[in-house]
Structure 1
Amino acid sequence: MTDVVIHRVTTLDLKVEPWEWPFAKQRRDDIAAHFAECRRAKPGLWNGRVLLGRNPRFADGLFEASYFETDFASLLAWRDWGFPDRTAFNGFGMGALRAADGAFVLGEMGVHTANAGRLYFPAGTPDLADVNNGVLDLAANVAREVEEETGLAPSDYQAAAHWDCVVTGASIALMRVLDASDMGEALQRRIEANLAAQDEPELCSIRLVRSRSDLTAAMPRFVTAFLETQFSPGEPSS
C-alpha cells in the first residue's frame, strides 16, 4: 500500500510560473497516441490545459509550490503509466462535504469520465481559470467544482479555515471540509435532484459515508486516508 502523509495547513502559496515539463516534451508522440486511444473508448475526453505542481514544501502551517501549465493528455498518460517522472506532482483541491449529522458526501464518477466508477469528493484538476494575479486560487477552484458537480453554492456550507494535504506518491490532495446545514439524506436528495437536471452530469450517484465500515475499494487511497482521520479509531474498516 502506498505510504500516506497528511499535513494540516492554514496558508497556501501556489505560484503559477512558466516551465516546460521534460516528460511532456520528450514523450510527445507517445502521449498523443495514448490520448487518441483513450478517446476511442471515451469520445467525450477533452485535451484542455491544466495545472500541475512541482517543488512542494510544507512548513509551519504553510504549503507552497510552483505550478505550471500542461495539457490533459500529458497528465493522463503520466498517471496511466505510473507517474514515471517525479519532477511534477498532481496537486488538486477537494471539497469534503459534511452534512449536519456528520455524514460525508461523495460522488461516483460517470462512465464517460476518465475516473469512471471511482468515489470522490467534488474536485477537479486546477486550470487557468483558477489563476488570480499569477497565483493558483485553490479555494475558488474547490468552490467552482462543488457548484458544478453538486449545485451547492458557497452560501450553502461553511468552509474550514484549514486544509488537510494528503500526500500519496505523486499526488497531493488538498482536502477542505465544507460543513452543510442539511442532514445527510436531505443533502443526498438535493444533490441527486441537481444531477437529474443536468444533460451529462459528471457524477452518476451520491454516497454517504458515516463510518469506516462505509469505506470501499472504489475510493482512492487519498480519500480513505482522509476519512480514516475523521472517524473513531475503534470503528471497523471494510
Structure 2
Amino acid sequence: MDIAFNMTPGRIHALSEVELRIDDAPPAYEEEHRADIARNWEEERLHKPALFDGRMLMFSRLAVSDGRLEGLCHPVRYSTYLHWRRHGRGALRHCYANAILVTRDNALVAIEMAAHTLSAGSVYFASGSFEAEDAVDGRLDLEANMAREVGEEIGLDLSGLERESGYAALALDSGTAVARRFRLDLTAAEADAAIRRFLSSEREPEIARPVIIREGEPRPARLAAQMPQLIDWHFASPFEPVG
C-alpha cells in the first residue's frame, strides 16, 4: 500500500480529527506534464467555453491513522486537475469537503449541476475543491470551505447549525470526500423552496435545481460516484452532534 495514500478505496472511514496542511511549492506533476496539460485544456474548452483556469489545491499525501486524517496539498491550476482527472493519477489526489445537509424530517439536500458546468447533470452534495483562501496559518479550514460552497451554490448559511462531532471520509479514484453532517432547521419542502428562491435571484447559477433524497425512495439519476455510499451511510448511522 502507498503510505502517502493509505485509505482503503470505497470504504467509509470515521474520523475524529482532520489536519490538511499546505505546501506552497507546486507539485512536480504540473511541470512534468506542462505541454499535455495545455493541450488537454484546449480540448476541454472546446466543449465547455466557460471554464476558467483558476487556482485550486491538490494533495500529495492523504493518510489515516487512529481516526485522524493528515494531508499535504499544493497549489495547481484548474487545467492541471482536468488533465489529472482524464489521463492518470500519478502522485496526486483530489480531495474536497462535503457538507451533508440534513433536514428536520431527515431528508438529504443535494444539487443537480447546471448545463454550462463541467459536471452538467451530475447530482451531489454542494461542494467544491479546496482553494488557498481556505487556509489559516498553513492549514485548511474545512468549515470555511463548506460554508463558502454551500452559500455560493444554494444560498444557505451553515453558521449556527447543529453539526456532527466527527467526519466521514470516502476515497475513490475520482477523489476523496471528507464529509460532515449539518442539521437544517427546515423541512425538506422548506429547504427546496428556499434554494429555488435563491437560484431565481442568480444571473447564472452553478446548479440547475435542488434534489431532495429521502430514505426508501428511488435514488436520483446521475448520482456522482461518492453519493451512493454517503447516502447509505447517513441513513444507517445516527447523527451525533458536537457536545
* TM-score normalised by L of structure 1: 0.91
C-alpha deviation, 1:167, in angstroms: 1.1
Aligned partner of 1:189 in structure 2 is 193
Distance verdict in 2 for CA 1:64–1:212, change over 3 Å: farther
Out of 5, 8, 20, which is 1:14 matched to?
20
Aligned partner of 2:37 in structure 1 is 31
Aligned partner of 1:121 in structure 2 is 125
* Structure 1: distance between partners of 2:194 and 2:147: 17
Aligned partner of 1:149 in structure 2 is 153
Q: Kindly report structure 1 stretches of 4+ aligned residues shifted beyond 3 Å.
A: none
| Correspondence 1:207 to 2:211 | yes
Contact 2:20 2:139 in 1 (8 A): yes
Contact 1:53 1:88 in 2 (8 A): yes
What are the Cα deviations for residues 169-200 of structure 1, in whole angstroms up to 9, with x where unaligned? 25210111111011001100101110110011
Contact 2:9 2:170 in 1 (8 A): no
* Structure 2: distance between partners of 1:4 and 1:38: 28
* Structure 2: distance between partners of 1:212 and 1:39: 40
Count of matched residue pairs: 230
C-alpha deviation, 1:3, in angstroms: 4.7
Alignment of 1:31-180 (within 5 A): 31-81=37-87, 83-85=88-90, 87-155=91-159, 157-169=161-173, 171-180=175-184
Contact 2:112 2:211 in 1 (8 A): yes
C-alpha deviation, 1:216, in angstroms: 3.9
Aligned partner of 2:5 in structure 1 is none
Contact 2:99 2:181 in 1 (8 A): yes
Contact 1:165 1:175 in 2 (8 A): yes
What are the Cα deviations for residues 26-71 of structure 1, in whole angstroms up to 9, with x where unaligned? 2211111111121222121110110011221112221111111111
Contact 2:213 2:220 in 1 (8 A): no
* Structure 2: distance between partners of 1:214 and 1:107: 16
Matched to 1:120, the amino acid is: Y
Matched to 2:42, the amino acid is: A
What SS class does the counterpart of residue 54 from structure 1 fall into? Answer: strand
What are the Cα deviations for residues 153-173 of structure 1, in whole angstroms up to 9, with x where unaligned? 124632222111011125210
* Structure 2: distance between partners of 1:212 and 1:94: 22
What SS class does the counterpart of residue 92 from structure 2 fall into? Answer: coil
Over the aligned positions, Cα root-mean-square deviation in angstroms equals 1.8
What SS class does the counterpart of residue 231 from structure 1 fall into? Answer: helix
What SS class does the counterpart of residue 13 from structure 1 fall into? Answer: strand
Contact 2:112 2:210 in 1 (8 A): yes
Structure 1 residues without counterparts, runs of 5 or longer: 234-238
Task: Name the stretch that deviates more: 152-161 or 66-75.
Answer: 152-161
* TM-score normalised by L of structure 2: 0.89
* Structure 1: distance between partners of 2:166 and 2:62: 17
Contact 1:92 1:126 in 2 (8 A): yes
